[in-house]
Amino acid sequence: MKNRFTLAALRHFACQAFEARHFSKHHARLSAELLVRADARGVDSHGVARLSGYIRLIEAGRLNPEPVFAWKQTFPTLCTLDADKSIGFIAASAAMEKAIEMAATTGCGMVAVKNSNHFGIAGQYALMPTGHNMIGMAFTNASPLVAPTHSTERLLGTNPIAVAIPALVNKPFVLDMATTTAANGKLEILERKKQQTPVGWIQQKDGKDTTDPSGLKSGGALRPLGSFPHSGSHKGYGLGAVVDILSGVLSGANFGPWVPPFVAFLPMAEQLVGEGIGHFFMAFRVDGFMDANDFKGRMDLWMETFRNAQHQGEEPVLVPGDPEWALEAEREQNGVVLLAPVVEDLNTLAIKLGIAPLAAD
């Protein structure tokens, strides 16, 4: 198929693009790898489709291609990183590495990051500690698109929660979820197909329900997980709030309505309350609680128990992460089909940056 590309080709292209905008070789390679990991795992909205958006942030002076990190540490387990307007990929990777390093000696490490930008998919940072027999958690705030329960204002981002937990023979458990009923990427897909959304995904400007996926663009808002007060939307709002507070309030980044938009052409809020967007990372050793292999064996039992549960209809019960692991294996093999507008956007980008165009498979 014409628009099918290998992951290697996507990585190479993204790497060239970042280098053309003054990323170091190492930072370009790491950013490209983490960007394309989103395509591999099926979160297409966070993959190469966003590459030109990051480049525009550099051009607007909001993303620094040559950041100098400043670490502040008072206790052996806790640390704040000022990421100097770095791309989120680099800041998040460094922060989770630091959390793992602290956890290796003390048992647990937590890092709050300010002055950063979007970091792609949260799950890949949560996964980093699992290879060290640790549990990982990753959080980030994001541009305000979500109205709290009862509100007509957009005050929170889709603020994801990611938790990854190692097992013995199984791939790690990975929960990686927006704290909204549906992620923004899913809206865009429906809008492109001119289809309606299910009830409860978005609200209009006046707060009333709508199934028109363009409702978000005409002043509406995404609804928190739970959708409505009678079905628990205050819980999704509360979870999104915790993510905003850990990532933004605690780190010294912006929070709530002040979080800068991802798109460079949208104006920043006035009188910012912090620097950039914020993330929060956590890693802790499972052998601080029980023997690591015993724990991982228990995780295998947990996973098999849930996968073998009785189910209604044809859909089996999945363990969080199962669909992404399956998709990743398939796409490592067969590559990814990009939508025509994404390919076109990347070709335009190649011309602008003076790099070789993306090579189809």
Contact range with a second copy by CB under 8 A, out of 10-18, 27-35, 307-315, 338-346: 307-315
219 binds a second copy (CB under 8 A): no
- Binds a second copy by CB under 8 A, chosen from 64, 80, 115, 130: 80
Closest by CA to 216, choosing from 190, 189, 184, 240, is 184
Q: How far is the CB of 87 from a second copy (least distance, A)?
A: 22
Q: How far is the CB of 88 from a second copy (least distance, A)?
A: 18
Closest by CA to 139, choosing from 184, 94, 92, is 92
Handedness of CA 40, 173, 86, 94 (dihedral sign): negative
159 binds a second copy (CB under 8 A): no
Q: How far is the CB of 191 from a second copy (least distance, A)?
A: 17
Q: How far is the CB of 134 from a second copy (least distance, A)?
A: 11
360 binds a second copy (CB under 8 A): no
User: Among residues 148 and 335, whose Cβ is nearest to a second copy?
Assistant: 148
State which of positions 251-280 bind a second copy (CB under 8 A): 251-252, 255-257, 273
User: Among residues 292 and 337, whose Cβ is nearest to a second copy?
Assistant: 292
User: Among residues 85 and 285, whose Cβ is nearest to a second copy?
Assistant: 285
Burial class of 143 by CB neighbour count within 10 A (0 to 12, 13 to 18, 19+): buried
- Binds a second copy by CB under 8 A, chosen from 118, 171, 279, 285: 285
225 binds a second copy (CB under 8 A): yes
Q: Distance (Å, rounded) from C-alpha 53 to C-alpha 93?
A: 20
Neighbouring residues of 291: CB distance < 8 A, sequence distance ≥ 6: none
CB 152 within 8 A of CB 206: yes
User: Among residues 165 and 187, whose Cβ is nearest to a second copy?
Assistant: 165
State which of positions 339-358 bind a second copy (CB under 8 A): none
| Total residues binding a second copy (CB under 8 A) | 90
State which of positions 113-152 bind a second copy (CB under 8 A): 135, 148-152
231 binds a second copy (CB under 8 A): yes
State which of positions 170-189 bind a second copy (CB under 8 A): 173, 175, 177-182
Neighbouring residues of 242: CB distance < 8 A, sequence distance ≥ 6: none
Q: Distance (Å, rounded) from C-alpha 328 to C-alpha 242?
A: 30
Copy the structure tokens of residue 100.
Answer: 């793992």
283 binds a second copy (CB under 8 A): no
Contact range with a second copy by CB under 8 A, out of 54-62, 245-253, 332-340, 350-358: 245-253
333 binds a second copy (CB under 8 A): no
Contact range with a second copy by CB under 8 A, out of 27-35, 90-98, 284-292, 352-360: 284-292
Handedness of CA 341, 347, 348, 349 (dihedral sign): positive
User: Among residues 52 and 247, whose Cβ is nearest to a second copy?
Assistant: 247
309 binds a second copy (CB under 8 A): yes
107 binds a second copy (CB under 8 A): yes
The DSSP annotation for 188-226 comes to: HHHHHTT-PPPTTSEE-TTS-EE--GGGGTTT-EEPBTT
Neighbouring residues of 197: CB distance < 8 A, sequence distance ≥ 6: 182, 187, 190, 211, 212, 213
Taken as a whole, the chain contains a residue count of 361
Q: Distance (Å, rounded) from C-alpha 40 to C-alpha 332?
A: 7
CB 112 within 8 A of CB 278: yes
Neighbouring residues of 11: CB distance < 8 A, sequence distance ≥ 6: 29, 32, 33, 36
- Binds a second copy by CB under 8 A, chosen from 112, 128, 146, 346: 112
295 binds a second copy (CB under 8 A): yes
Q: How far is the CB of 284 from a second copy (least distance, A)?
A: 6
312 binds a second copy (CB under 8 A): yes
CA distances from residue 209 to 198, 283, 291, 327 in whole angstroms, order as listed:
10, 39, 50, 33
